[in-house]
Each structure stands twice: as C-alpha cells, then as structure tokens.
Amino acid sequence: MNSNFTETLRQTPFIRLIIPLIIGILVKLNIQFQIPIFALSVIIFFFLFLLIIFSGFKKLHTNYKIRWAFGMFFNLVLFSIGLLLVDLNFSKVSKGTINQTDGYLLASVIEKPELKEKSIKATLEIKAIGDKDQWIETNGKVLIFFQKDSASENIDVGDNILFKPEISEKRITGNPSEFNFEKYLTYHLISDQTYLKSANWKKINEKETGLKLYAYEIRDKFLNIFKKYGISGNEYSVLSALTVGYTSELDSKIKHSYSSSGATHILSVSGLHVGIIFIVFNYLLKFMEKIKYGKLIKAIFLILFLWFYALLTGLSPSVLRSAAMLSFVIVGQSLNRQANIYNSITASAFILIIINPFIITDLGFQLSYLALISIIYFQPLIYNWIYIKNKWLDKIWVLVSVSIAAQIVSTPISLFYFHQFPNYFLLTNILVVPMSTIIIYLALTLLAFSSLDVVANYIGIALKYSVRILNNTITSIEGLPHSVSENIYISGFQMFLIYLFIIVFTSYFILKRNSMLRLSLITIILFLISTFYNDFNALKQRKLIVYNIPGNTAINFIDGKDNILISNLSKNANSSTLLFTTKNNWLELGLQKEKIVDVNSLNHNSLFTNNLTVDNKNLLLKDRYLGFYNHRFLIINKDFQLKKYTKKIKVDYILITSNNKIKVSDLVKYYDVKTLIIDSSNSPRNIEKWKAECAKFNIAYNVVAENGAFITNL
C-alpha cells in the first residue's frame, strides 16, 4: 500500500505544485503586510537562480542529505508567486478607482444586466475618463445600479454608457460575522459601486463587439426559442438556469426550495451540466475514432464544443473549471495516455488560480473541486459495498453512491457557510439528476429542431411539462417533515478538524497504520473539546451590539445564550434584512431564539407587555430606561419627550434612534452620560448636528453609520 501511495504522489506532480501556491495566496489575503511588487519579483528570480544552480551541479541534487534544499527553494518560488499574484490583482482594483474624477466616464456593459425590484444591476468596464476636453484611457470594473425605467430595462451586454459618476465609497458596516460585500467586490476585481438616476447617464450608439458578446447573442437566441414554444414563468427561469446558466429571472421561493431540498447544484451550470454536454457530443463524434488521427480530431472538436458552451454561459467560474478539467482529461485520452485523473483535476485548478488567484475564495470553486475529488475516490468504494443484480436498481444505487460520496467532503464546508443540511439529499438526487438530464437532452433537441415548428411544438410541450414536474418534485421534497436541518454552526477550526478526520481516517484504510486510527480519535476528541469550550464561553458572554443597518435600529443585548433585540425590524416583515445582518453572528455566539421588542413601543403604557416579551431577569425595562447588570441605558426613540429632573440621572449609554429632534444641550442638563451612541436610523444632517454638540460639551460619542457596528462587552 505504501508503494502504491508513493506512486500516486509521483503521478500527481500538480498536487505538489498547487499547495505552496495556495498557501502563498492565503497568507497574502489574510495577513496584512506589504512587499513592493518589484521587490517580490526580485525575490522570485533569486530563488529561481538558486534552483538553476542547484540543478546544474549533479553532486548537489543527487546528495540525499541536501536534496531537501531543492524542494525548499522550489516551494519558496511557488509561495512567492502566490504573494505576487494577489498583489498584481489588487493593483488592478486600485488602478480602477475613479471616485476622484469630476468628469464623465465611458464604460461598456460586460455582463448580462440583472433585473431587481427597483433597479437594474450591471457590471461595467471603464474605458476612459473625460477630463478638461480630453479623454484619458483607464480601466477598472464598477458595479452600477440603474434607476429602473424603460431605458435601463433595455441595457444589454456590449452597450456603451456615458455617465456622470457619483461613486460611493466602499462602506464597511462593521456588523460582526456579516457577509463582507466589499471584500466580495474586491475579489471580483470590482473597484467601485454606485446608483445612477435616469438623468445621470445615457447610452451611446456605438456597441462593443467580441467573442463573448457574440456568445451572449447566441444565448439570447436560445432563450428566445424557449419562449417561442410556450415556456414561461418558473419553467422558463429554471430551464434558463439549468441549460445556459441564466439565473436573473429565478425568484427567491424557487431558489429556497432547491436549496432546502439539496438541489441547488441543478440551478447553476456546473460539472453535471458540462458532463452531460460532453457525453452527448462524445457519443455523436464516436465515428471519428475509426479514421486516421480521428481521436485527435475528435478531441479538438470536443474541446471546442465545451469552450463554446462555456462562452454561452458567460464564462461563469463553475463552467470554466468544469471545461478546464474535462479538457485536460480529453487531451490525455487523445494522446493514448492513462492520465492520472487527480493530476488532471489539480492541473485545471492550478491554471485557473494562476489566471485569477481570488478564485480560491469562491465557494463554488471550493465545493466543485472537493465534491469531484470525493466522488472519484469514494464512489467506487461505496458502490462496492452492495452488489445488486437488478439492472435498474443498480442504476439507482450508482446515483445513491455518487450522492453519498459527494456529501462526504462537501458537507463540512456547506455547514460552515450555510449552517443547514438537506436531510433528503439522497431522495433529491435520485429523482432530480435523471430528470435534469432528460430536460437538457430535450432542450438540445428543441434547439436542433427549432426551425421545424411542427416537431418543435411537441418538443416544447414535453420540455415545459418536464420542467414543471421537476419544480413540483423539488417543492414536494421541501414540504416533507424535517426536510432541512437549520441553524447548524461549526467554526473554521471545527471544519478543519472534520476534514483532518476524513483525511486521517481514510489514510488508515490506505496505509493500514494504527497510528492513523489513533490520530483520527484525537481529532474527534479535539472537536468535542472545542464544542464544549464554545458552549462554556457562550454561557459567560454579556454584550451590547448596535448594528449598522442603514435607516434602521437594531440594538442587541446578549446575556449568555439569551438574545434580546430592540429594533424597528421584525422577523416576519423584514426577515431578509434582519437575518442577513444578524444570523451568522447569533449562530456563532450560540444564542437561543431571539426575543424582538419594537423600539417604538418602549413607553410606560407597554411596560408589562415588554417584561413578558423580554423574559430576562438581568434586563430590566421601564419606559425607555434599561438596566443590564451594572449598566444603565436610555433609548431615545421617535416618541421620546424630555423630562425635567431636579437631579441629574446617571446613564452609561444614551442611544439616539429614529431621528428624534432632541438636542445634546438639553440632554446634558438632566443626564450624566458616559457615551452617546447615534445609530444608523438617523439622517446625516442630524448626525452632524449631534457630533458638533458632543464636541462642544466634551461628550464621548459613537456614530454607527460612520464607525461601523458598536460592540462592547458588559
């Protein structure tokens, strides 16, 4: 087994290449340090020089005692390249910063605009800045939200837009554990974002051209064929996503249903879809293998088909990696070489990372590679557990074994990001994978016969009802009792321990070493210890968090696992806004179900009700005054009226919300306050007024909208 394992490592050189490269990228992304690009380039050339010298002297690289130096220099080169790649891509973002200009910007739409409820979302590539009667060429991507009207609804890929920029600065909310949208934009090389009113932009007649735009035009023709033959509504939106990756028209209910049932991968064009396309064309071109050089010609056609399909889907990351992986496999097969599948997969990942190092932060990239490697390794082992004679039952068992294999490695990272697990994932994949395969075959058939209305009409009807059955199946699975386990939290360290357990426990069966079994038991013990440690810390915590939600109030008192939120948001009416901001933090802190109190109901008339709602002996609530352990708070909401006291009342924190017209000069007459907190529900005009007054009376203050969420341990 040891010799086989060593041989496997020898056949997978790209695994040894990719590890130091990824480590270099991760170090640069997570540790703040600056090395000039020129200096980093010099370092890389220095290590390469040492490698050349080392390789040139036979006595050096054949001497066992110092052979480790060759590996060290080689890994240092790749590690440094990882650092350099991140810096080079960050420089693209910084060069694209355009919020300094007072002139006009010329930009082209580079991705299909997305229809939102009140706006049109589009990504634009900046081409030039108009400054003092001249145009200066520049670059950089910006995210634009156009005011929704007839003009913006007609924006398409390739359109050139002239606009007056009001680029908004990247806003860091500071909300704990909230999705970092600004970092997301940076990793997608988008430097700025803004909202454009109808009067602040116009489309000019010139239109961009290029292969990608041509592919988009073909994709639109395909989508129009679906519409032509009566496919609309949810059937159209799911079919568009399933076949060419067009997801803009998917509504939230459909997305939630597919997510809860464990079928999200169906809605994003990925390895499954590219694999189906590959199987179809591989079968159609099989006749080429009989002619001279047929295998090579067939390989060229297959690769061209795959990459044309990738273009049709907008070169999405999921399709890029799938097309890249299959291309390596096809090349290996055409050269009559038994290419190691793990090496081919790693080689495709290596090239994609070199092109864009930020791709390793993409969840789809992580999941697809983990799931694919897991399927390749574990599926044959799982399949061989049970021998089934019946042909059709055996096919079902194949699907089950593939689903189990995929879940083994993808589950930990899914729990880490999504905090949920689809309990019926086996049932979903047994039903959905064959159905989605049939739908893709029908869609290809419809496209092939689209010029023959008599035939295409019947295919269109079959396709429409097939997608409808798929949607109904997904909805039915979601509606089953306990279809999804939610609010599952694991930390990054715990996710690492789970993966370590999978690797070590698998190694035990490969290497047959008892030390691996002992190590796997140690990882389980460490996981349990970390769980107990997190629970113990959760019981001791006492926090005040004032979240930064523009136009809203959200004041969080945390007492152990007890969770009290005073807000104008409700979980029913504003669930998306509230949960987007708070859910990850609540799960990380191990909190119980939240108790929400309406900030505008804090008055003496609702005292008794609030006490019942809050249900926490350490949080006393009377009128707008709160006592939490040894700290005293006053919340000023929209109905607050200042009362005159003969003696100043000591208050640790005064929280101003809802644009109350209170003056700081009046507050200091009757309150002895340590810190004034101004939350994000207040207007910029009022905030500036209060800031000036606080400076005048020498009162400590914190503006949540400017400084980010206010967080303190009490």
CATH of the domain at 132: 2.40.50
Of 178 and 525, which is predicted with more confidence? 525
Per-residue confidence (pLDDT) for residue 501, from 0 to 100: 93
Residue found under tokens 């390249």: 81
Distance of CA 431 to the CA centre of its chain: 27
**Residue 639, domain member (yes or no):** yes
CB 170 within 8 A of CB 708: no
Please determine, for residue 270, whether its predicted confidence score (pLDDT) is greater than 90: no
Span 300-327, mean pLDDT? Answer: 77
Per-residue confidence (pLDDT) for residue 288, from 0 to 100: 81
Of 456 and 310, which is predicted with more confidence? 456
Residues 306 and 310: their CA atoms lie apart, in Å, by 6
Span 186-208, mean pLDDT? Answer: 81
Per-residue confidence (pLDDT) for residue 1, from 0 to 100: 44
Per-residue confidence (pLDDT) for residue 608, from 0 to 100: 44
Residues of the chain with pLDDT > 90, as a percent, come to: 20
CB 368 within 8 A of CB 325: no
Residues 371 and 350: their CA atoms lie apart, in Å, by 17
72-81, 119-128, 168-177: least confidently modelled range? 168-177
Confidence band of 64 (pLDDT split at 50, 70, 90): low
Domain end residue (candidates: 189, 208, 227): 208
Per-residue confidence (pLDDT) for residue 180, from 0 to 100: 81
Span 691-711, mean pLDDT? Answer: 92
Please determine, for residue 606, whether its predicted confidence score (pLDDT) is greater than 60: no
**Residue 147, domain member (yes or no):** yes
Span 211-229, mean pLDDT? Answer: 83
Spatial CA neighbour of 634 closest among 619, 654, 648, 650: 654
Of 82 and 38, which is predicted with more confidence? 82
SS3 content of the chain, % helix, strand, coil (to 5): 60, 15, 25
State whether 528 and 546 are in the same domain: no
**Residue 473, domain member (yes or no):** no
Q: What crossing angle do the helices spanning 271-284 and 425-448 adopt, rounded to 10°?
A: 50
CB 478 within 8 A of CB 261: yes
Span 541-565, mean pLDDT? Answer: 92
Using one digit for the tens of pLDDT, what is the confidence trace for 445-454?
Answer: 898 888 888 8
The structural domain count of the chain equals 4
**Residue 12, domain member (yes or no):** yes
State whether 174 and 84 are in the same domain: no
Span 177-189, mean pLDDT? Answer: 81
CA distance readout (Å), 34 to 14, 37, 83: 28, 9, 10
**Residue 328, domain member (yes or no):** no
Of 140 and 354, which is predicted with more confidence? 354
Spatial CA neighbour of 502 closest among 487, 523, 488, 481: 523
State whether 508 and 626 are in the same domain: no
Which residues are CB-neighbours of 184 under 8 A, at least 6 positions away? Answer: none
CA distance readout (Å), 444 to 20, 277, 281, 432, 460: 42, 9, 11, 18, 11
Residues 339 and 329: their CA atoms lie apart, in Å, by 7
Confidence band of 482 (pLDDT split at 50, 70, 90): confident
Per-residue confidence (pLDDT) for residue 683, from 0 to 100: 92
**Residue 297, domain member (yes or no):** no
Domain end residue (candidates: 158, 178, 208): 208
CB 240 within 8 A of CB 249: yes
Residues 261 and 251: their CA atoms lie apart, in Å, by 16
Span 457-483, mean pLDDT? Answer: 91
Using one digit for the tens of pLDDT, what is the confidence trace for 114-161?
Answer: 888 788 898 888 888 876 667 777 777 888 888 888 888 888 888 888
State whether 111 and 202 are in the same domain: yes
Confidence band of 557 (pLDDT split at 50, 70, 90): very high
Please determine, for residue 284, whether its predicted confidence score (pLDDT) is greater than 90: no
State whether 585 and 703 are in the same domain: yes
147-161, 217-231, 336-350, 644-658: least confidently modelled range? 336-350
Give residue 504's domain range. Answer: 492-539
State whether 632 and 643 are in the same domain: yes
CB 103 within 8 A of CB 131: yes
Q: Sort strands 671-678 and 649-656 into parallel, antiparallel or unpaired.
A: parallel
Q: Sort strands 631-636 and 649-656 into parallel, antiparallel or unpaired.
A: parallel
For the entire predicted model, the pTM comes to 0.81
Per-residue confidence (pLDDT) for residue 459, from 0 to 100: 92
Per-residue confidence (pLDDT) for residue 388, from 0 to 100: 83
Residues 473 and 282: their CA atoms lie apart, in Å, by 30
- Cβ burial of 2 (10 Å; 0-12, 13-18, 19+) is exposed
Span 703-714, mean pLDDT? Answer: 92
Which residues are CB-neighbours of 175 under 8 A, at least 6 positions away? Answer: 547, 548, 549, 581, 582, 585, 708, 709
Q: Using a CB cutoff of 8 Å and minimum separation of 24, what contacts does 617-620 make?
A: 618/559, 619/557, 619/559, 619/564
State whether 697 and 565 are in the same domain: yes
State whether 667 and 701 are in the same domain: yes
Please determine, for residue 558, whether its predicted confidence score (pLDDT) is greater than 90: yes
Which residues are CB-neighbours of 89 under 8 A, at least 6 positions away? Answer: 189, 356, 357, 358
Per-residue confidence (pLDDT) for residue 611, from 0 to 100: 43
Which residues are CB-neighbours of 242 under 8 A, at least 6 positions away? Answer: 266, 267, 269, 273, 436, 439, 440, 443, 467
Distance of CA 300 to the CA centre of its chain: 34
**Residue 429, domain member (yes or no):** no
Confidence band of 99 (pLDDT split at 50, 70, 90): low
Per-residue confidence (pLDDT) for residue 688, from 0 to 100: 93
Spatial CA neighbour of 422 closest among 435, 440, 434, 406: 406
Domain end residue (candidates: 148, 183, 208): 208
Per-residue confidence (pLDDT) for residue 98, from 0 to 100: 55
Please determine, for residue 171, whether its predicted confidence score (pLDDT) is greater than 70: no
Q: Per-residue DSSP letters for 637-649?
A: -TT------SSPE
Using one digit for the tens of pLDDT, what is the confidence trace for 2-37?
Answer: 555 555 566 677 888 888 899 989 988 888 777 777
Per-residue confidence (pLDDT) for residue 610, from 0 to 100: 43
Which residues are CB-neighbours of 84 under 8 A, at least 6 positions away? Answer: 37, 40, 41, 44
State whether 517 and 643 are in the same domain: no
Confidence band of 689 (pLDDT split at 50, 70, 90): very high
Residues 484 and 482: their CA atoms lie apart, in Å, by 5
Confidence band of 169 (pLDDT split at 50, 70, 90): low
Confidence band of 685 (pLDDT split at 50, 70, 90): very high
Residue length, the chain?
A: 714
How is residue 362 annotated by DSSP? -
State whether 54 and 168 are in the same domain: no
Per-residue confidence (pLDDT) for residue 159, from 0 to 100: 87
State whether 73 and 38 are in the same domain: yes
Provide the CB-side half-sphere exposure for 306 (13 A, CA). 30
State whether 156 and 112 are in the same domain: yes
**Residue 451, domain member (yes or no):** no
Per-residue confidence (pLDDT) for residue 499, from 0 to 100: 93
Residues 428 and 222: their CA atoms lie apart, in Å, by 28
Of 363 and 175, which is predicted with more confidence? 175
CB 539 within 8 A of CB 560: yes
